């Protein structure tokens, strides 16, 4: 009987030990699964953060309609300009005549702090640009034609977002002169930019804006 009791007791102890080990194993496995899930979420968040920082969008397209010589042997270039909204909607076409072959497109640009861009802030998740004028390399910039703001595509941003953007544009030159004011609004840089390229008749160009940077211009392939 003692032997049987001993065996039964041993079985109970072994069973309890096995159950404890299994329970600990299940707890450890659950903990590891939770860690893996957390790491996967963090990885996805970092990937999205990096994507936002490296993103860019089209903001304008330019077609070179014609080029001719004027009475002073300068090159007069006629352009068809169209801005592009965040939803890819095209603004009203605008004919611009500039003097020169290297063409500049001047804009006010607001760049936000990288953290705001990476986190996808609703109002400050990408740089802003407001085009002012175009001019060529054979004329003074202040003689170039202005880019009419009424030709811009309508904004579909929420009212609060648009209100903040309007406020930032109203404060643009103050933020240029006052870094502390710019910092209050999360603005890293407020400056003028004028990307340019030597353009030829019948060529098509695209102006883009980096989410965390400034303006770029590149030629598009010939239309088929």
Name, in order, each residue with C-beta under 8 angstroms of 212's C-beta and a sequence gap of 6 or more. Answer: 52, 53, 54, 111, 112, 114, 117, 118, 126, 127
Res 188: pLDDT: 98
Q: Flag whether pLDDT at 51 surpasses 90.
A: yes
Same structural domain, 124 and 197: yes
Beta strands 196-198 and 56-69, pairing class: unpaired
Same structural domain, 66 and 6: no
Same structural domain, 119 and 83: yes
Cross-strand pairs, 111:
189
> Residue 219 corresponds to which tokens in the numbers above?
């030629």
pLDDT confidence tier of residue 7, bands split at 50, 70 and 90:
very low
Neighbour tally for 54: CB within 10 Å: 13
For 154-211, write each residue's pLDDT tens digit.
888 999 999 999 999 999 999 999 999 999 999 999 999 999 999 999 999 999 999 9
Res 38: pLDDT: 77
Q: Flag whether pLDDT at 142 surpasses 60.
A: yes
> Residue 72 corresponds to which tokens in the numbers above?
């002073």
Side-chain-facing half-sphere of 100: CA atoms under 13 Å: 18
Mapping DSSP to helix (H, G, I), strand (E, B) and coil, where does residue 152 land?
coil
Q: In angstroms, rounded to a whole number, what is the distance separating the alpha carbons of residues 121 and 160?
A: 13
Same structural domain, 39 and 82: no
Neighbour tally for 139: CB within 10 Å: 14
Structural domain harbouring 1: 1-54
Q: In angstroms, rounded to a whole number, what is the distance separating the alpha carbons of residues 117 and 54?
A: 10
Selection from 211, 178, 172 nearest residue 192 by Cα = 172
Is residue 224 in some structural domain? no
> Residue 40 corresponds to which tokens in the numbers above?
């996967």
Q: Flag whether pLDDT at 148 surpasses 60.
A: yes
Domain count of the chain? 2
For 95-131, write each residue's pLDDT tens digit.
999 999 999 999 999 999 999 999 999 999 999 999 9
H helix or E strand, kind and range, residue 212: none
Name, in order, each residue with C-beta under 8 angstroms of 53's C-beta and a sequence gap of 6 or more. Answer: 114, 117, 118, 211, 212
Same structural domain, 48 and 63: no
Alpha helices for 113-214 (secondary structure H): 114-118, 159-170, 172-177, 179-184
For 52-85, write each residue's pLDDT tens digit.
999 999 999 999 999 999 999 999 999 999 999 9
- Match 């909607």 to its residue by tokens: 89
- Which is higher by pLDDT, 42 or 33? 42
Same structural domain, 103 and 213: yes
């Amino acid at each position: 009987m003692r032997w049987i009791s001993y065996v039964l007791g041993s079985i109970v102890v072994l069973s309890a030990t096995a159950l404890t080990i299994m329970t600990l194993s299940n707890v450890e496995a659950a903990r590891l699964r939770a860690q893996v899930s957390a790491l996967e979420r963090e990885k996805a968040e970092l990937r999205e953060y990096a994507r936002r920082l490296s993103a860019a969008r089209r903001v304008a397209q330019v077609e070179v309609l014609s080029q001719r010589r004027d009475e002073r042997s300068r090159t007069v270039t006629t352009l068809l300009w169209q801005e592009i909204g965040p939803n890819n909607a095209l603004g009203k076409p605008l004919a611009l005549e500039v003097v020169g072959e290297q063409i500049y497109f001047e804009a006010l640009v607001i760049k936000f702090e990288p953290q705001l861009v990476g986190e996808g802030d609703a109002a400050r998740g990408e740089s802003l640009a407001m085009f002012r004028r175009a001019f060529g390399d054979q004329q003074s910039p202040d003689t170039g034609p202005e880019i009419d703001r009424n030709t811009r595509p309508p904004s579909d941003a929420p009212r609060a977002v648009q209100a903040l953007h309007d406020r930032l544009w109203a404060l643009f030159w103050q933020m240029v002169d006052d870094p502390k004011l710019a910092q209050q609004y999360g603005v890293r840089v407020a400056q003028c930019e004028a990307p340019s390229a030597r353009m030829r008749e019948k060529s098509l160009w695209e102006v883009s804006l980096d989410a965390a940077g400034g303006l770029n211009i590149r030629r598009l392939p010939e239309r088929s």
